[in-house]
Amino acid sequence: MTTFVVATDSVHTSAALCDYLVDRVDQSDTVHAINSIHDEDSDAIRDGQDALNAVASRLTAVTSVETEQFTRGNVPAEDILSYSEAIDADEIVIGVRKPSPTSKAAIGSVTEQVLLHSDRPMAVVPRETHR
């Protein structure tokens, strides 16, 4: 029985994370899909809910899925780390965008902060940038 925290910010990220997880999870596992909104922007909240729904619709047939959206003003990395600790997650699964030709950063700031401050195993799943 494995407890996963799946941090997502878009339907595209959810799709990539689900592609990674669908063959790894089974009925005894639990996936906690989370979305963290720093500002209470209604478009961001709706997009986050869509991202969570995408995870639930893709994985519910193979494992237990719980979703949680945080709108308490924390930076997303803080929510990911504190939630993972609170539920004693076995693994954090997070997406990373491939850098654009003009980008200097290889990974996003949220992914970087989670990587630097987590003591849990992680899977960092690449996804294509959508222009």
The tens digit of pLDDT for each residue in 76-123 reads: 999 999 999 999 999 999 998 766 665 555 556 888 899 999 999 999
Provide the CB-side half-sphere exposure for 105 (13 A, CA). 9
Please name the residues in contact with 37: beta carbons below 8 A apart, sequence gap of 6 or more. 44, 45, 48, 69, 70, 71
pLDDT digits (tens, 9 = 90+) for 27-52: 999 999 999 998 778 899 999 999 99
pLDDT computed for residue 127 by the predictor: 76
Domains of the chain: residue spans and CATH: 3-127 (3.40.50.620)
The pLDDT, as a whole number, for residue 107 is: 56
DSSP assignment, residue 85? H
Bridge partners (DSSP) listed for residue 96: 126
Of 31, 29, 30, 28, nearest in space to 17 by CA: 31
What pLDDT does 41 receive? Answer: 82
- Look at residue 100 in the predicted model and tell me its pLDDT: 60
Burial class of residue 7, CB neighbours in 10 A (0-12, 13-18, 19+):
buried
